[in-house]
Structure 1
Amino acid sequence: MQKSLSILFLVTAALASCQAPKQSNYQFQVSDLEPNLITLASDEFQGRRPFTAGEEITIKFLEDEFKKLGLEPGNGDSYYQDVPMVSIVSKSSETMELKNPNSSVSLTGFQDFVMWTQKTDSLVEIKDAEVVFAGFGIVAPEYGWDDYKNIDVKGKIVVVLVNDPGFGTEDVSLFKGNTMTYYGRWTYKYEEAARQGALGCLIVHNTIPAGYGFNVIQGKHHQPILYLDDRGKETNKLGFEGWLTLPSAKKLFEMAGKNDSELLSAARKPDFQGMPLGVNLSASIQVEAEYNVSKNVVAKLTGETKPEEYLIYTAHWDHFGIGKPDETGDSIYNGALDNASGTAALLALAKAFATDQTPDRSVIFLAVTAEEQGLWGSAYYAENPIYPKQKTVANINMDGINPYGKMKDVSIIGSGQSEMEDLLNVELEKLGRYSAPEPNPVAGYYFRSDHFNFAKIGIPALYFGTGIDHVEKGKEYGKQLQDEYVAVYYHKPSDEYHTSRWNLDGAVDDVQILYNVGKSLANSDKWPNWKAGSEFKAVRDSYMKSSPTQSTDK
C-alpha cells in the first residue's frame, strides 16, 4: 500500500510539473554581449563583407560559438545554408550626357550621379535614350494610384522621385502620410520600372525623404554589389539603376523647361500624368561579374513538446568590408552597431535558451548574409526555407542594439502591423517600460531589415529599435543621439565599438525583452497573426486556414 501511494505521489507530481508554465529565469548581463561584440567589430574580421576573408572568419566564429553552446546544426547536419550569389562591379562612364535640340549638360560620376547594373554582360551602353519623368514611379491600385498610366516607357529612362506622395503632406489619407510605404522604397521603384519595360531608372535623391545622405549611395560607386544568383530564372532587369543628386535633377528639369517644385506638387496628385522630358541620355557601364556562394549560419534548439513548431531569431552578420578610406585614413567598415551588436545579441539569446529550461517549441538562431547588399540572405531563406512557413510561428529580428544606456521605451518598427507588438507590450509593461512608434517613420526602416522577407511570405515579424526616452536625460537627448549616429557613424568606418561612447546597460535591457517575448511564445500555443489592414495578413491567412490557433487570444 505504501509503495502504491509513493508511485501515485510521483505520478501526480510529474503531471503537475508538466502542466506548470515554464518560467524565464535567465537574466542578461553586459558580459553576455560585450566580448562577442568586441570580437565581431574588430579589425581582424575585416568588416565582415561576403565573399572575402572577413566572411570566412565570421561564419567560422559563429559556427564555433553555436557548437560551444551545444546547439544543433540548423540545416540537417550543417550549420550553414549556402546562398548562391553574383558579385557585380559596375564601372560607369565618368560622365552622363544629357542633351536636347537646344542644350546639353554633362554630369560627373560619383559627384552628380551613381549608377550600376544587375546585368552580367561585359558592357551596358546607353546611347541617346529618351528620358521620361514618372512622378514617384508607383503603381498602387489600393491607393488608386498609377504613375505609369497612359505613358510608354519601354526602352526609355525613367526618372522618379524618392519616397511616396504622402511624405511632407501631413495627410495620413495620402498613402500613409509621413510614414513611408513599400512604394517609397528605392527597391520597389526599380522593380516597377523593370515591370514597365524601362531601360533604366534614376531616383532623384533628397536627404530628408530618403532618410540618408547621398554619401550612402556614393558607397556603391564602382564597388562590388551582390545579388542572388538567378541564372535559369525568368527575371525582369533594368539596363541600369541609379540615383541623381537633387541639383543634377534640377538641371535636367530645367533643360525640359520644367520647375522641380511644380513637378513635385503635380506628382502628389492622383491624376498626375507622366511626361517625356524631351531630353536624351547617354552613358555606359563596364561590368565585371563573379559568381560565388555566401552562407547563412543557422543553429537549432529542439523544442521539448512541439519540436515541429519554430520561432526564428535573425540578425545579419555582414557589413561592408574594406572600402573607401575616411578622412582619418580608416578603410575598415567595422559595423559595430550595424550589425555586430545584433549578431552578438543573437549569440547571447542562443546562450540563454541553451542554459534555461528547454522550451516547448523549437528555437532557430539564423545569422544571415548580405543584408547590406539588399537583404539577400534572408530573401534566399524565405525562398528556400529550411523550416516550413506553415510551421514557423514568428520571426524576431535584431539590427542594431541600443548603445546609449537605459531607455524607458523601445521604438516599434512598423507599428500596428502584427500581434507580435501586443506580446512585446505585455513583456515591456512587466518591466515598467513602454513601446512607441518609430521616431523617424519617413526612413522606411520596416523595409530595410531582414524581418521584411519573413513578412513578405506571411510570417509575423517583430523588429524594434532603440527608444529615445532616455532614463536620465529624456526624449530630446535620445533623439539627438540617434540623429548623430546617422550623420556621423552610419555605414562609415567610424562605426566602431568604443567604451567611451557606448553604454551597454540599455542593450542588456532590450535583449532581455527580446528573450522574454521569445520565451513566452516558445512555451505557448499562440499563433500570432497580422493585424487587420496589414498587407501581409492575407498572405498568412491563405496558407494557414486549416490551423486551429491563429491569434494571441487563443
Structure 2
Amino acid sequence: MRPSLPTFALLLSAGTAAVAAPAEITPSIDTMKEVVKEISSDPYEGRAPGTVGEEKTLAYLVQRFEALGLKPGNKGSWFQDVPLVELAAKNVSPLRFTGGKAPLSLDYGSQMVVATYRTTQPHIELKDSPVVFVGYGINAPEKKWNDYGGVNVRGKTVIILVNDPDYQTPTLRGPFGGRAMTYYGRWTYKFEEAARQGAAAAIIVHDTMPAAYGWNVVQSSWTGAQHVADSANGNADQSAAIGWMQKDKAAALMASAGLNLDALSAAAKKRGFKAVPLKGIKASLSFDNIIRKHSSKNVVALLPGKTRPNEYVLYAAHWDHLGRCEAAPDGDDICNGAIDNATGTAALIALAEANVKAGPTDRSQVFLAVTAEESGLLGSAYYGNHPVFPLGQTVGGVNMDALSMAGLARNVVVIGKGKSQLDAYLDRALAAQKRVASLEPTPEKGFYYRSDHFSFAKHGVPMLYFEGGQDLVKGGTAAGAAAAKDYEEHRYHGPKDEYDPKWDWSGVKADLKLYYDVGRALANTTDWPNWVPGDEFRSIRDRSRAEK
C-alpha cells in the first residue's frame, strides 16, 4: 500500500509572507467512487442538460453539498440559471455536391454531420450554394493572415481545414504557436469566423491527427441534440448550417472540381494563401430544426472564509455529458461520461468534504459545477459573463476535467504551463510528492481551449488545469501513452465511458491531493496570483483588480 502523501510547508516567493501548511487532510477516494458510480449510472441517462439526467444530477449534488454544511452560493439558491436552447436536427437529407466531374452525396452520420446555431428557424435549407475552399478559415490581422482575403463568401458554403497552419511544426515556434494549437485552430472559432464572413454553411474537414479525435467522436457528439446559448436575435447572424465531413469525401469533392486536397492543404499552410472557389460546384442540404428553449443550471456551493470572506477561490468542474448518443454495436446508446466528467464532479464533492473537515480558510471557497461544457463551455461562459461572485475579487482556482485512471504517474501535464503564477503553487505541492509538472505532450490538440478554465481566463481569472501524467510508475511513458490512446479511441465521448470497479485510483488520489493543497494555499495567502507579463490575459486581470 502506498503511504499517505506528506503535508508541506508552503513558502511564497521572496518578498511575500509565509503561509501555514495545509491541514493533515487527504480527500476521500471512497467519496469519489460513490459519486462517480452514482452519476454515471444508466438512470442518469448521460447527464444531458434539459433532461431527467440533469434533474437527477442537480438533486444529487445539492444533497451532497447540503449534507456537508456548505451554503447555497447564489443569494440563497444552490443554482444559477443558464438559458439554453436545445436544437435537434431531424429528417436530414444527404449533403449533395453537384456541377463537378462527378456528383457527390454524403450520408448523415457516417460521412457528414450537420447542425445549426439558429434558434428560431424550424427548417434549414441550403440549395445550390456555391462552394469555396478557405484553407484553415482564419482571419488574424495581428498575424497578417486572412484566408478570406479577396473572396466574397456571403451566401456560400465554405470548406475548412481543422486545426491551424503550423500544427505539424515540431517546435513551438510558428505564426500560430508552432505545434501548439491556438484558438484559431478550434472548431468553435472556425464557425464563428465563417458566420462573420456571411457564409451560409461551414463544413470542417475531419482529420484524426490534427482534430485530436476520430470520426466516432464527431459522430457521437454531433448527431444528438445540441445546446446553444440563447440570444435576442435567435442567432440569426450565424451560418444556417455548420458541420463536419470525412476527409476522403473532401478529397473526392476537390477531385470533382479538378483540384487536389493535399496540394490545397499544403498551400493553405503558407501566408498569402488565397481561397479557392470550386468552379461550378453547388451544395444542397436540408433538415428540420427541432427547437426547445429551457434553462439549465450551474450549481454554486459556498464555504465562507473566516477573515476575508469577500475574496474567493474557485473549484470548477462540469457535471454534464452527452446524454443519449450514437449506439455502440451492442445497442448501448447512453454516453455515461464516467471519466468525462463524473470524475471531476466527484472531485468537487471530495474537495468540499476535505475542506469542511479541515475548517474554513481565510478566503471563501466556491465549489462550482457548471453545465453544458460539452456544448461549447456554455455554463462556465455564462458564469463568466454573469458572475455570482465578482471576478475582481476571485483570486483564481482550479478546473477538473476527466481525471485519469491510468495509475500513479511521476508527473502531471499542465495545460497552459507557463501562463500564470499559479504554476508556482502547483510546483510546491508537487515537490511534496516528489513529482514534477510537464508540458503538454500533444499541444496540437488545443486542450487549453477545450475546458471550462478558458471561460474564466477570458475574464482574467487565473485557473490551474492539469491532467494525469503519462510517465506512469508502472510502465513509464509507453504505458501512459497507450492508456491515453485506448481511452480516446474506445471510450471518449462514447457509450463505453462507464464506471469500472477495476479502475486504478492511485493517480487520482495523488492528483486530488494536489488540487486540495493548491486550493488551501490560495485560500489562505494574501497574494493575488496573476498571469505572467506578456500573456494575453494579463491586461484583463490588471483592469479587473484595478476596478476592485
CA contact (8 A) 1:134 1:160 kept: yes
Q: Is the 8 A contact 1:408 1:467 kept in 2?
A: yes
Contact 1:92 1:116 in 2 (8 A): no
* Matches of 1:350 and 1:369, distance apart in 2: 19
Match of 2:218 in 1: 217
Contact between 1:22 and 1:357, CA under 8 Å: does it hold in 2? no
Q: Quote the offset at 1:61 in angstroms.
A: 0.4
- Equivalent residues in 2 for 1:292-441, closer than 5 Å: 292-441=294-443
Within 5 Å, give how 1:225-236 maps onto structure 2: 225-232=226-233, 236=237
- Structure 1 residues 134-143 or 363-372, which shifts more? 134-143
Matched residues in 1 for 2:529 and 2:392: separation? 12
Distance 2:383 2:505 in 1: 31
2:117 match: secondary structure: coil
Q: Match of 2:145, as an amino acid?
A: W
User: Does the C-alpha gap of structure 1 residues 495 and 345 become closer, same or farther in structure 2, counting only changes over 3 Å?
Assistant: same
Compared CA separation, residues 282 and 422, structure 1 to 2 (3 A): same
Give the SS at the match of 1:462.
strand
Task: Kindly indicate whether residue 229 of structure 2 is the aligned counterpart of residue 201 of structure 1.
Answer: no
Can you list the C-alpha shifts for 1:341-394, whole angstroms capped at 9, x where unaligned? 111100000011111131011100000111111111111111111011111111
Q: What CA distance in whole angstroms lies between the structure 1 residues aligned with 2:366 and 2:527?
A: 17
**8 Å contact 1:407–1:471 — kept in the other structure?**
yes
Over residues 240-279 of structure 1, what are the superposed CA-to-partner deviations in whole Å (9 max), with x where a residue is unaligned?
1011110110111112211111101110111111121111
Superimposed CA distance per residue, residues 494-550 of structure 1 (whole angstroms, 9 cap, x where no aligned partner): 1111122x1112111101000100100100011111123322222222332367xxx
Deviations 1:377-414 (A, max 9, x none): 11111111101111111131000112122111101112
Partner of 2:32: 33
C-alpha offsets along residues 10-61 of structure 1, whole Å, 9 cap, x if unaligned?
A: xxxxxxxxx9836332123422321112112222222111111111111000
Partners of 2:212 and 2:335 in 1: how far apart?
A: 20
Task: Give the CA deviation at 1:92.
Answer: 5.5
Deviates more, 1:96-105 or 1:205-214: 96-105
Unmatched 5+ stretches in structure 1: 1-18, 548-554
Instruction: Name the counterpart of 1:106.
Output: 105
Moved more, 94-103 or 104-113: 94-103
- Give the Cα separation in 2 of the matches to 1:322 and 1:101: 38
- Find the aligned partners of 1:270 and 1:321 in 2 and give their Cα distance: 42
Q: 1:234 to 1:260 in 2, by over 3 A?
A: closer
User: 1:122 deviation in Å?
Assistant: 1.4
Matches within 5 A, 1:489-508: 489-500=491-502, 502-508=503-509
Report the Cα distance in structure 1 between the residues aligned to 2:476 and 2:164, rounded to whole angstroms: 32
| 8 A Cα contact 1:132 1:156, kept in partner | yes
Q: In structure 1, give the amino acid aligned to 2:53.
A: G
Q: CA deviation at 1:130?
A: 0.8
SS in 2 for 1:277: strand
1:126–1:43 distance in 2 versus 1, CA, 3 Å: same
CA shift, 1:472, in A, is 2.4
Q: Which amino acid aligns with 2:144?
A: G
Task: Name which one, 1 or 2, has greater alpha-carbon Rg.
Answer: 1
Identity %: 42
Using a 3 Å threshold, how does the CA distance of structure 1 residues 101 and 213 change in structure 2: closer, same or farther? closer
Q: Aligned partners of 2:22, 2:127: CA distance in 1, in Å?
A: 67
Q: Is the 2:19–2:525 contact (alpha carbons within 8 Å) kept by the matching residues of 1?
A: no
Q: Residue 392 of structure 2 aligns to a residue in which SS?
A: helix
Query: For residues 440-455 of structure 1, what are the structure 2 equivalents within 5 Å?
Result: 440-455=442-457
Cα 1:200/1:319, change in 2 over 3 Å: same
How many aligned positions are there?
529
Q: Secondary structure at the match of 2:45?
A: helix
1:299 and 1:222 map into 2 onto residues whose CA distance is: 33
Equivalent position of 1:141 in the other structure: 141
**Cα contact 2:117–2:235 (8 A) shared by 1:** no
1:220 Cα offset (Å):
4.2
Query: Cα–Cα, structure 1 residues 339 and 83, in superposed 2: closer, same or farther, change >3 Å?
Result: same
Provide the secondary structure at the position in 2 that maps to 1:48. coil
* 1:207–1:429 CA distance, 2 compared to 1 (3 A): same
In 1, are the aligned partners of 2:221 and 2:325 still within 8 Å (CA)? no
Deviation readout 1:392-449 (Å, 9 max, x if unpaired): 1113100011212211110111222211122111111122110101222121111111
Question: How do residues 109-128 of structure 1 correspond to structure 2 at under 5 angstroms?
Answer: 109-119=108-118, 120-128=120-128
Output one character per residue of 1:432-491: Cα deviation in whole Å (capped at 9) or x when no partner.
110101222121111111111001111111110110111122111111111110011101
Q: Which residue of 1 aligns with 2:159?
A: 159
SS at match of 1:513: helix
Q: Is the 8 A contact 1:89 1:289 kept in 2?
A: yes
1:465 counterpart SS class: strand
Give 2:259's aligned amino acid. K
Identify the residue that residue 293 of structure 2 maps to in structure 1. Answer: 291
The aligned residue for residue 130 of structure 1 is 130
Q: How far does the alpha carbon of each residue in 1:174-204 deviate from its partner, in whole angstroms, 9 at most, with x for none?
A: 3112111110000000001111111111101
**Deviates most, 208-217 or 315-324:** 315-324
Answer whether contact 2:363 2:524 (CA < 8 A) is retained: yes
In 2: Cα distance, 1:381 partner to 1:243 partner: 29
User: Residue 310 of structure 2 contacts residue 363 of structure 2 at CA under 8 Å; is this kept in 1?
Assistant: yes
CA distance 1:370–1:513, change in 2 (3 Å): same
AA partner of residue 446 (structure 1): Y
2:487 is the alignment partner of 1:482: no
Shift in Å, 1:222: 4.4
Q: Distance in 2 between matches of 1:454 and 1:533?
A: 18
Name the SS for the 1:47 alignment partner: coil
Shift in CA distance, 514/101, structure 1 to aligned 2, threshold 3 Å: closer
Gaps of 5+ in 2: 1-17
SS at match of 1:295: strand
For the 8 Å contact 1:114–1:220, the answer to whether it is kept is no
CA distance in 1, matches of 2:309, 2:418: 30
Helix, strand or coil at the partner of 2:312: strand
Question: Is the contact between residue 402 and residue 510 of structure 1 (CA under 8 Å) also seen in structure 2?
Answer: no
TM-score, normalised by the number of residues in structure 2 = 0.93
Structure 1 CA distance, aligned partners of 2:527 and 2:545? 13
Separation (CA, whole Å) in 1 of partners of 2:351 and 2:360? 13
- Structure 1 stretch displaced more, 240-249 or 422-431: 422-431
- 2:27 and 2:353 in contact (8 A); partners too: no
